Amino acid sequence: MKLTFYCQSCSQKLNIGHSQIGTIVRCPACDMNQPVITPLAKRYRGMRIAVVTLQILGVVIGLVLASAVLVLMTQYQLWSVQQLGTALLVLGLGLPLAFGVGITIYAAGEGVKLLVDLEDNVRAMRLYSEMARAERQPPPPVEAPQQPSQ
C-alpha cells in the first residue's frame, strides 16, 4: 500500500511505500530533499485514545465526587443551622478534594499528550537535521572509468 504526500517545496504529489516512513526522499520534480513523516492522526493512535479517555474520566469523576459530597450533605441533613460547622467542613474539604481528583486525572491525560507531542517533535527534528546535514555534504566523487589494458 502506498502513502501519498506533497512536496513542501513545489507541491508535487509523491507516492511512497510504508518502508520509507522516517526517511528522506528526493522530490523528482524540484530535486529537494523531503522528510517522510507519518501524519499525526495515524501515529500513536492508542496513546491518543488514552489521552481522551483520561480527560473524559477526569471530568466525570470530578463531577461524580462533587455530587456525592452534596448528596451526603442532603442525606445527613447538614443544611440546618445546628450542623453549620459540619456542613462547612464537609463542603470545604469535600468539594476541593473531589475537583482535585478530577483535575489530577485530567492533567494525567494532558501529560501523556505532551509526551506524545514531544516525541513527535523529536522525530521531526531528527529528520530535518539529517536533511540539513545531507544538503551540506558534497556529493561523493565520481571515479573515472578505467581504460582496459591490452
Q: In this prediction, what percent of the chain has a pLDDT beyond 70?
A: 84
82 vs 85: CA distance, rounded Å: 8
- pLDDT tens, position by position, 95-107: 999 999 999 999 9
pLDDT tens digits, one per residue of 3-39 = 777 777 888 888 887 777 777 888 888 888 877 766 5
pTM: 0.62
Q: How far apart are CA 82 and CA 41, in angstroms?
A: 57
For residues 23 and 64, membership in a common domain is answered with no
Cβ proximity of 7 and 15 under 8 Å: no
pLDDT in tens, 54-67: 999 999 999 999 99
Do 15 and 64 belong to one domain?
no
User: CA of 70: how far to CAs of 60, 75, 78, 80, 91, in Å?
Assistant: 15, 9, 10, 14, 8
Residue 44 phi, psi (nearest 5):
60, 40
pLDDT of residue 139: 62
Q: Are residues 32 and 50 in the same domain?
A: no
- Tell me how far apart the alpha carbons of residues 110 and 51 are, in angstroms, rounded to a whole number: 7
Closest CA to 135 of 8, 6, 26, 5: 26
Kindly report the number of other CB atoms within 10 A of residue 130's CB atom.
Answer: 15
Q: What torsion, rounded to 10 degrees, do the Cα atoms 98, 102, 105, 111 define?
A: -120
pLDDT at 149: 65
Instruction: Look at residue 11 and tell me if it is in a domain.
Output: yes
Provide the sign of the torsion angle of the four alpha carbons 51, 53, 57, 59, taken in this order: positive
Of these ranges, 1-5, 110-114, 118-122, the one predicted with the greatest mean pLDDT is 110-114
Q: Do 101 and 77 share a structural domain?
A: yes
Residue-range definition of the domain harbouring residue 129: 45-134
